[in-house]
Amino acid sequence: MSKSLGRFKITPLGVLVALVMLVGLTGPWLTVGYDSYSVIDPVPKLGGIRYHSRVELSPFFGSTFKDEVLQGREFFVSAGTSVCGVFLVFSALLSILVYRVNWAHFAFFLMALCGVVLFFLSVGEGISIGVITQIGWGLDVTILGLLLSLILSLKELVRNNLTRFMD
């Protein structure tokens, strides 16, 4: 099911993929906290750790927080993370349209997957995810967008593969 927009046809699932991936690019992908202190949560009566200083990194920018107040934001932190963001934006925007070839959406899915891999390759080897560095909500939303992109690409790959005339 697709809707015609002049010469171009758009697919609703492609629009959903684009929106989810673009929202994921605006959120933090990795969060690192410094200068920790202990707190007791009053509801479950359990202890926890909070941080006075925090750095959040996404493909296009990095933000620093001190006591939950934004101190600064730096755009285009590194070439690798920026290229990752460009890959994700292009693959998200190109997934909106319907193409004549069945494998086009799969190529856009692979481009987005390469963008996510490139992000982690450009961040460095000492990030220690889960020990020091926490995963932010932006990466979760982007991975959801990748999953939707995979579903869209598989749907497009099997499109028009059935014979129309049965004996």
Predicted pLDDT of residue 20: 94
**Rounded to two decimals, what is the model's pTM?**
0.80
Predicted pLDDT of residue 144: 94
Between CA 131 and CA 105 the distance in angstroms is 36
Render each residue's pLDDT in the chain as its tens digit; 167 residues: 555 555 668 888 889 999 999 999 999 999 888 877 788 877 877 877 778 888 899 999 999 999 888 899 999 888 888 999 999 999 988 888 877 777 788 888 889 888 988 888 888 765 666 667 888 999 999 999 999 988 888 888 887 655 555 54
Domain 3-157 is of which CATH architecture? Up-down Bundle (1.20)
Domain boundaries, the chain: 3-157
Predicted pLDDT of residue 6: 54
Predicted pLDDT of residue 162: 55
Give residue 12's identity as a one-letter amino acid code: P
Predicted pLDDT of residue 1: 54
Between CA 99 and CA 140 the distance in angstroms is 28
Between CA 57 and CA 67 the distance in angstroms is 17
